[in-house]
A and B are shown apart, each in its own frame.
Chain A
């Protein structure tokens, strides 16, 4: 069974930093692209960042480009998200997502809540 378990969320002040982690199991992690998707309270879903299976290429939504960094450690089946210069509008649940063969979002973690507030 595919499992994605996020951690690292919490309350941070504007301008602060946070590092999210996602532990993956139940599938061959190193052969799948991964994404981070977020959902602000009471709002819809927003793609945030993507990384290829080998980590060679990364992609970001314009809203986070230059502030957030996605990375992975295939030897430990881990996905990471370094978030810096956080803004109030970054407040959201952040989901770790496994992509399917055709790039649909095949499996989602339970999410970790990031709250940016003074």
Chain B
């Protein structure tokens, strides 16, 4: 049963700490997205990759967020330093045009 895997599922950290979230996309999917979900803003697109190349990261605060795909089986989203306003659920999704498969999300709480 192919699925997108995200780790960690939950993370509580203190302001100023570095946070790294990881995503394993479905094998064979060449497009990977990072979304952030909050009550106020809904699902916000942070960045996305095609064939491991970053295509758009305009939704990310550049001074603290970075996204990479070291290889086809791993996408990472890093926040350094983290702030309380970064508290949200971060979703990774992979797919081909027409259908995205979302991971279970990483719930981040920054105190």
Q: Are A and B part of the same complex? A: no
